[in-house]
Amino acid sequence: MLLQTLCTMVLAALPFAQAQTGSSPNNTTPMNETAIEATLTGIADSYRHWVEAPLFHWPEEVGLEYENVTFPSEDGVPLEAWFFPCKGSSKVLIANHPRLFNRAGLPSHMEPLASMLHSVGNDLDVNFVPDYKILHDAGYNVLAYDFRNYGQSGRANGIIYTAGRFESRDVIGSLQYIRSRPDTRNMTLGLFPRCMGANAAFFAISRAPKLFEDVRVIMAPQPISESMPNRVQLAAFGLTDPQYYDRLNDMIFWRTNHRMEQLTPIPWVRSVQIPTLIYQVRNDITTRPEDVQAIFDSLAAPDKQLIWIENSTRRWDGYLEFQRRPQVYLDWLNTYMN
């Protein structure tokens, strides 16, 4: 069941109903009520159950010196992380990860992930270690941590996904950790939060803005509102009547105590004054560009930029963008971090 429900995750593919009911997305044959209920249940269940990926890559692969560190989240959940020291640097960047991923990335080229993600082209290895190598070589200390319920970090809150709300406590914990280390407490600080991690950072800022007053810059690939990819999935199965969205919304509420309207960064970014760069695969088939555009338009920061990644429909290309074109993004960081 876990393997089937993974396909309905926000960042995953659309073949869940095919596996669950024998139906396929965009099939002209209407789904019967049993198939509809199974599809909605599968999507909702994915907020409580998902395949947990191992840390598939390690810093030794690129010769990076690092420390294995652990620190508490804002509410005490133990978080596991890598700290990459950069000798002579006075800058530190805190990185986190998307949903389903961990600090090392996601081995979605391997089973069981590959067969689930193949239909949307995301059956490839996403390795975040090269990102840390690039940042280190550019003069940055880096802290990369696993969110609660991912990687090696502690489990909490009934192991549910909240699109950044509970996860925001981990963002705050990472800031507190950097400020507690004698070697980093006075460093220039920036954030590199990815997808779910970007949502979490934005929510953390909205509820505790004073904690972020010394953060110089945010580089945030692919933030997302929960309602959009769920609407995309429902439409793929021909479930465009509003009743199906409402039923799904109720199911998610019963599993997480949150409705989809509470799981969007659009209201949260209205509190963000920090210079922010967002980048996104424009034609990502698991969502729609108007969602990221709305997030960007709502962002209060006077210094902001949105970069569209073209010639791809794969969401995972957005997570590989930094290591493929690093100078564009290093230039943005350096503008505010130097």
Question: Quick check: 28 pLDDT over 60?
Answer: no
* Predicted confidence (pLDDT) per residue in 316-326, tens digit: 999 999 999 99
Beta strands in 105-229 (DSSP E): 105-107, 125-127, 141-145, 188-192, 215-221
Q: CB of 275 within 8 A of CB of 336?
A: yes
Q: CB of 67 within 8 A of CB of 141?
A: no
* Predicted confidence (pLDDT) per residue in 175-208, tens digit: 999 999 999 999 999 999 999 999 999 999 999 9
Query: Please, what's the b/e burial string for 162-183 (b: 16 or more CB within 10 A of its CB; e: otherwise)?
Result: bbbbbbbbbbbbbbebbeebee
Q: How far is CA 42 from CA 155, 175, 262, in A?
A: 22, 35, 20
3-class SS letters over 65-81: CCEEEEEECCCCCEEEE
Nearest to 44 by CA among 222, 258, 237: 258
Q: Report the pLDDT averaged over residues 114-122.
A: 93
Q: Is 213 exposed, middle or buried (0-12, 13-18, 19+ CB in 10 A)?
A: exposed
Locus of tokens 């709300």:
165
Specify the pLDDT at position 2. 35
Specify the pLDDT at position 26. 55
Specify the pLDDT at position 65. 98
Q: Which helix (H) or strand (E) holds 42?
A: helix 33-45
Specify the pLDDT at position 295. 99
Look over the chain and give the mean of its residue pLDDT values, rounded to a whole number.
93
Specify the pLDDT at position 17. 34
Specify the pLDDT at position 25. 57
* Predicted confidence (pLDDT) per residue in 42-87, tens digit: 999 999 999 999 999 999 999 999 999 999 999 999 999 999 999 9
| All structural domains of the chain with their residue ranges | 1-51+227-262, 56-225+275-337
Specify the pLDDT at position 70. 99
Q: How are the residues of the chain apportioned to helix, strand and coil, as percentages rounded to the nearest 5?
A: 40, 15, 45
Nearest to 47 by CA among 204, 166, 128: 166
* Predicted confidence (pLDDT) per residue in 202-248, tens digit: 999 999 999 999 999 999 999 999 999 999 999 999 999 999 999 99
- Distance of alpha carbon 225 from alpha carbon 113, whole angstroms: 23
Specify the pLDDT at position 23. 40
Specify the pLDDT at position 30. 84
Domain spanning 56-225+275-337: which CATH class is it, in words?
alpha beta
- Distance of alpha carbon 166 from alpha carbon 101, whole angstroms: 17
Question: Quick check: 22 pLDDT over 80?
Answer: no
* Predicted confidence (pLDDT) per residue in 250-305, tens digit: 999 999 999 999 999 999 999 999 999 999 999 999 999 999 999 999 999 999 99
316-324 vs 129-137: helix axis angle to the nearest 10? 30
Question: Quick check: 3 pLDDT over 70?
Answer: no
